[in-house]
C-alpha cells in the first residue's frame, strides 16, 4: 500500500479510480482474510488472545465502532442499495469501502508496530510520486500515461486526487524534520520536505495552501514552549522559500516548460506563479535567514553570559545564591509556559480572524464581478421563495464549490427526519441529489455534463451520505484522536507526525473529498497513532 499502490495505474489515467480501487480491495481483502485465519488459530490455543487486545477500548475506538454501525444503518435505510454497496462508479466509497477502512484502523491500532524504517520506505515511494508530479508540471513525462492533460499529473490522476495524497504524505517528512533529534534523519527529512513543498506549490490545486497553512500553524503552536523546535520551524520556512526558488530555476532550464497557469488556463493558480516566478520568496528567504541568524547569535551570547555568572557564583562559594538563581529560572520557565499558552490562544484567534476576513473579501470580490443578469450568478435572494434562504457563498466561489455547497445544504434540508439521521446511503450523494428537480437543474446549469459525485466538502458529503449519526461519529473519531495524540506526543514524538498529518488531511478535505487514494492512508495513520499510544502506555 505504501510503495506499489501509488504507482499502480494500468491504462494510464483512463478508469484510474476503478483500477486503484480494485487493487486496494483485492490486497486488503487478501491480507485481512489471512490475518483472520492467523488470529482464529491463535484464539483456539489461547481463548483470551482476542479479548486482551480489545477489552480496553479508548474513546477513539468507540467512535470508530460507532461510525462502523452508522455506515451499516445508513446502508440498511438507503433507497439506493446498489450504489450504497459498492459506491458511485469511479469513486467506490460505498459500504464495502467504509467497512474496510474501519477494519484497517482496528488492525493497525492493535497489530502494527511503527518504526522510522518503515516511514523511510513510505517517504521514499512518496518522494518518487512527487518528483514525477513536478516533472509532469514542467512538461516532462518519464512515464507515458494515456489520457494525459495538464490537469493530470504523476500516477495519481487529476490534481485534486494528487493533492489529496500529497496532503497526507508531505507532512510526514516536514514533521519528522521538526521533531527528529538525529542529524541524518533531519537531513533526509529536509531533502524530502523540499521536494514535497515544491510538488505542493506547482501541482496546480490551490487547496494545497490550506495544508501549508495548517502544518505551519500547528508546528508553530507546538514550538512556542521549545526554542530549539522554534528554530526548526524557521528552518522549515526557509526550506519552503528555497523550494519555491528551485521551482523558479526549473522554469528556465532547457526542456522544462510550465504547462499550468494563467497563460495556459485563463486565470489559473496565480499564487503558484507568484511563488515560483517572482522575488517574493527570495526576499522571504533572506528575511527569515537574517532573523534566524540574529536569534541564534543573541541566544548564544546570553547562554555564554549565564554560564559565566554561574561559574563566578560557584567560585565565590555563594551556593545559596546559585540555588536562588536556579529557583528563579524554574519560576520563569513556568511563567513562560503560561505565556506560551496565552500566545497560542492569541495566534489561533488571529488566524481565525484572518481566515474569516479572507472568505469575506473573496465572496465580496466574486459578488462584485458577477453578472447579476445571468441566471445562477450572484447571491440568490429569498424574495418570493421562503423555502430558499440567501446562499452563503457565491456559486462561482472556489471553482464552483459555492454552488455545490449551497445545493448540498438544500439537499440535506429537504430530507425527512429518518434520513437526516441516517443519510441517503454511503456514496449515494449524486444518485440522490440529481433526483431533486430544483437542485438537479441548478447543478446541470452550473456543471453541465460533469456529474457532481460529492459536495467537494467531506463534512457535507458525510452529512448527506451517512446522516447526522455518521457525521457526529466521524467528527468524534477524528477529533478525539487529534486531541489524544497531541496530549501524549511529548512522550512519543511520532504522535506529532500522526497528529499533523491527520490535521492536514482534515483541513484539505474542507474543500475536497474522500477517495481511494487518500482516505485509506488516513485510516492507517489513525490506527498507527492509536497503536503508538497504546504501546507507550503499556510500557509505562
Whether the pLDDT of residue 357 is over 60: the answer is no
Whether the pLDDT of residue 44 is over 90: the answer is no
For residue 172, the model assigns a pLDDT of: 93
How long, in residues, is the chain?
540
pTM: 0.83
501 and 481 part of one domain: yes
155 and 212 part of one domain: yes
Whether the pLDDT of residue 128 is over 90: the answer is yes
189 and 219 part of one domain: yes
Look at residue 338 and tell me if it is in a domain: no
129 and 107 part of one domain: no
Confidence grade of residue 492 (pLDDT, cut at 50, 70, 90): confident
Whether the pLDDT of residue 459 is over 70: the answer is yes
Whether the pLDDT of residue 269 is over 60: the answer is no
How would you class 192 by CB atoms within 10 Å of its CB: exposed for 0-12, middle for 13-18, buried for 19 or more? buried
3-state secondary structure of 152: strand
Q: Is the dihedral of CA 82, 84, 86, 91 positive or negative?
A: positive
How confident is the prediction for the chain on average, in pLDDT? 80
> Alpha-carbon distance 272 to 204, whole Å?
7
446 and 421 part of one domain: yes
For residue 37, the model assigns a pLDDT of: 87
> Alpha-carbon distance 429 to 446, whole Å?
17
User: Of 301, 317, 333, which marks where a domain is finished?
Assistant: 317
Grid cell in block for residue 139: 512538461
Q: Which domain holds residue 290?
A: 118-317
Look at residue 469 and tell me if it is in a domain: yes
* Residue range 279-314, pLDDT digits in tens: 888 898 898 898 888 888 887 777 656 555 555 555
Whether the pLDDT of residue 265 is over 70: the answer is no
3-state secondary structure of 80: coil
For residue 98, the model assigns a pLDDT of: 92
Look at residue 129 and tell me if it is in a domain: yes
8 Å CB contact between 436 and 414: yes
258 and 203 part of one domain: yes
8 Å CB contact between 127 and 154: no
269 and 213 part of one domain: yes
Whether the pLDDT of residue 132 is over 90: the answer is yes
Give me the number of domains the chain comprises. Answer: 2
125 and 209 part of one domain: yes
Percentage above 70 pLDDT, the chain:
78
User: Of 287, 317, 347, which marks where a domain is finished?
Assistant: 317
User: Of 317, 340, 361, which marks where a domain is finished?
Assistant: 317
How would you class 8 by CB atoms within 10 Å of its CB: exposed for 0-12, middle for 13-18, buried for 19 or more? middle
298 and 266 part of one domain: yes
Amino acid at each position: 500500500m505504501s510503495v506499489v499502490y501509488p504507482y499502480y495505474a494500468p491504462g494510464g489515467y483512463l478508469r484510474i479510480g476503478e483500477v486503484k480501487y480494485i487493487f486496494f480491495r483485492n490486497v486488503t481483502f487478501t491480507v485481512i482474510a489471512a490475518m483472520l485465519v492467523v488470529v482464529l488459530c491463535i484464539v483456539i490455543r489461547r481463548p483470551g488472545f482476542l479479548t486482551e487486545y480489545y477489552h480496553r477500548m479508548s474513546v477513539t475506538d468507540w467512535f470508530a465502532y460507532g461510525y462502523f454501525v452508522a455506515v451499516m444503518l445508513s446502508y440498511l435505510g438507503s433507497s439506493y442499495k446498489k450504489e450504497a454497496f459498492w459506491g458511485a462508479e469511479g469513486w467506490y466509497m460505498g459500504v464495502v469501502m467504509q467497512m474496510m477502512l474501519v477494519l484497517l484502523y482496528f488492525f493497525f491500532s492493535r497489530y502494527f508496530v511503527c518504526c522510522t524504517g518503515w516511514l523511510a520506505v513510505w517517504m521514499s515511494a512518496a518522494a518518487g510520486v512527487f518528483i514525477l508530479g513536478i516533472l509532469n508540471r514542467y512538461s516532462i513525462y518519464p512515464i507515458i500515461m494515456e489520457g494525459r492533460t495538464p490537469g493530470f499529473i504523476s500516477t495519481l490522476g487529476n490534481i485534486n486526487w494528487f493533492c489529496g495524497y500529497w496532503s497526507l504524505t508531505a507532512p510526514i517528512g516536514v514533521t519528522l524534520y521538526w521533531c527528529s533529534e538525529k542529524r541524518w534523519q533531519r537531513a533526509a527529512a529536509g531533502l524530502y520536505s523540499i521536494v514535497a513543498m515544491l510538488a505542493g506549490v506547482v501541482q496546480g490545486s490551490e487547496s494545497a495552501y490550506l495544508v501549508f497553512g495548517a502544518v505551519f500553524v500547528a508546528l508553530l503552536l507546538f514550538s512556542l514552549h521549545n526554542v530549539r523546535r522554534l528554530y526548526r520551524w524557521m528552518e522549515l520556512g526557509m526550506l519552503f522559500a528555497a523550494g519555491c526558488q528551485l521551482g523558479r530555476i526549473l522554469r528556465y532550464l532547457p526542456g522544462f516548460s510550465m504547462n499550468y497557469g494563467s497563460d495556459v488556463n485563463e486565470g489559473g493558480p496565480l499564487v503558484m506563479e507568484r511563488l515560483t516566478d517572482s522575488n517574493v520568496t527570495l526576499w522571504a528567504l533572506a528575511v527569515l535567514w537574517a532573523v534566524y541568524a540574529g536569534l541564534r547569535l543573541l541566544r548564544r551570547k546570553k547562554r555564554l553570559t549565564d554560564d559565566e555568572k554561574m561559574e563566578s557564583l560557584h567560585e565565590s562559594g555563594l551556593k545559596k545564591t546559585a540555588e536562588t538563581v536556579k529557583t528563579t529560572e524554574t519560576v520563569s520557565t513556568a511563567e513562560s509556559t503560561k505565556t506560551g499558552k496565552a500566545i497560542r490562544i492569541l495566534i489561533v484567534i488571529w488566524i481565525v480572524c484572518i481566515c474569516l476576513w479572507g472568505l469575506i473579501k473573496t465572496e465580496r470580490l466574486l459578488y462584485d464581478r458577477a453578472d447579476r443578469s445571468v441566471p445562477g450568478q450572484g447571491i440568490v435572494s429569498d424574495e418570493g421563495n421562503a423555502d430558499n434562504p440567501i446562499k452563503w457563498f457565491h456559486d462561482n466561489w472556489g471553482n464552483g464549490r459555492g454552488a455545490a455547497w449551497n445545493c448540498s445544504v438544500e439537499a440535506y434540508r429537504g430530507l425527512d427526519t429518518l434520513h437526516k439521521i441516517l443519510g441517503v446511503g454511503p456514496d449515494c450523494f449524486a444518485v440522490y441529489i440529481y433526483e431533486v428537480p430544483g437542485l438537479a437543474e441548478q447543478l446541470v446549469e452550473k456543471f453541465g455534463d460533469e456529474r457532481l459525485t460529492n459536495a467537494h466538502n467531506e463534512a457535507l458529503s458525510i452529512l448527506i451520505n451517512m446522516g447526522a449519526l455518521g457525521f457526529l461519529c466521524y467528527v468524534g473519531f477524528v477529533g478525539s484522536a487529534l486531541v489524544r495524540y497531541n496530549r501524549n506526543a511529548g512522550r512519543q514524538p511520532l504522535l506529532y507526525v500522526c497528529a499533523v498529518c491527520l490535521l492536514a488531511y482534515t483541513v484539505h478535505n474542507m474543500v475536497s473529498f474522500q477517495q481511494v487514494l487518500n482516505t485509506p492512508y488516513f485510516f492507517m495513520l489513525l490506527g498507527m497513532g492509536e497503536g503508538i499510544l497504546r504501546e507507550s502506555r503499556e510500557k509505562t
